[in-house]
Amino acid sequence: MTVSQTTQTELIRVAHALADAARPVTLAHFRASALVADNKDTGGFDPVTAADRGAEKAMRAVLADARPDDAILGEEFGHQSGTTGLTWVLDPIDGTRGYISGTPTWGVLISVADAQGPLFGLIDQPYIGERFAGGFGVSELHGPIGHLALQCRSARPLAQATVLTTFPEVGTAQEGAAFHAVANRAQLTRYGMDCYGYALLAAGQVDLVIEAGLNAYDIQAPIAVIQAAGGMVTDWLGGPAHEGGRVIAAANPEIHAEALAIIKDMPFG
């Protein structure tokens, strides 16, 4: 859908207001000895904390006042219908496993999307104080060292590339084999980054992030930030990735094509 310049400015303002509302809630619980994590997955471990729920409630309260007619999709409290054709996609803490372990690679993910995908997004890391923004002509990082433009890395061969993912197993055994077929040809592979890996891609620090089993709220903000920085994000077949699933985020078309050619030849199901 076409969004006017005035509306773009308003959406950017509201996105930052959401991040500002979530920050103190997440920081109030981070590395706290009394923090308790409940398990949402009876067949495994999918933690949720008071910080996850509280941060999403804080963001929804901002939207109720600033953009009451927009839809909302949040990890903790689900979908709320709207009438404008715009949906706010919220992950109050992406990387709760890292959050409860005290690592600073979790983040607050905020995006506003239409039916075709995200239009603007933020990856906010409250503890470090970094906020990555992308969309509507914006591609920038605000952090401890100031205000910087975001720009993905220029092309280099996979043999010289750095690849990130969150879990070493990636997903199923077949999905893991597909990932490792790429990673084994890269110069360096790192694990456990959660959404911060996508931020590093947009900042020009790494070349690829490859994951599986994602939800829309895991990837829509990173898509907006990475695309604004000159990168690209698709599924493992080269199609749209904004609904989640298997995702490959790349710094440039050349490294994307090289990695995708390997993955597409693998029987990942």
pLDDT in tens, the chain (269 residues): 899 999 999 999 999 999 999 999 999 999 998 888 888 876 778 899 999 999 999 999 999 999 999 999 999 999 999 999 999 999 999 999 999 999 999 999 999 999 999 999 999 999 999 999 999 999 999 999 999 999 999 999 999 999 999 999 999 999 999 999 999 999 999 999 999 999 999 999 999 999 999 999 999 999 999 999 999 999 999 999 999 999 999 999 999 999 999 998 898 86
Residue 34 has a pLDDT of: 82
pLDDT of residue 190: 97
In one-letter notation, the amino acid at residue 46 is D
What CATH number is given for 5-149 in this structure? 3.30.540.10
3-state secondary structure the chain: CCCCHHHHHHHHHHHHHHHHHHHHHHHHHCCCCCCCEEECCCCCCCEEEHHHHHHHHHHHHHHHHHCCCCEEEECCCEEECCCCCCEEEEEEEECHHHHHHCCCCCEEEEEEEECCEEEEEEEEECCCCEEEEEECCEEEEEECCEEEECCCCCCCCHHHCEEEECCCCCCCHHHHHHHHHHHCCCCEEEECCCCHHHHHHHCCCCCEEEEEEECHHHHHHHHHHHHHCCCEEEECCCCCCCCCEEEEEECCHHHHHHHHHHHCCCCCC
Residues 6+ apart with CB under 8 A from 193: 105, 164, 165, 166, 200, 209
Q: Which amino acid makes up residue 185? A: R
* CATH architecture of the domain covering 158-263: 3-Layer(aba) Sandwich (3.40)
Structural domain spans, the chain:
5-149, 158-263
What does the pLDDT read at residue 30? Answer: 97
pLDDT of res. 265: 87
Which of 31, 81, 24, 32 has the alpha carbon at shortest distance from 55? 24
Query: Residue 179's pLDDT is what?
Result: 97
pLDDT at 268: 81
| pLDDT at residue 44 in the model | 79
- The reported pTM is 0.96
| Beta bridge partner(s), residue 94 | 107
pLDDT reported for residue 1: 85
Q: Which of 73, 51, 49, 47 has its CA nearest to residue 60?
A: 73
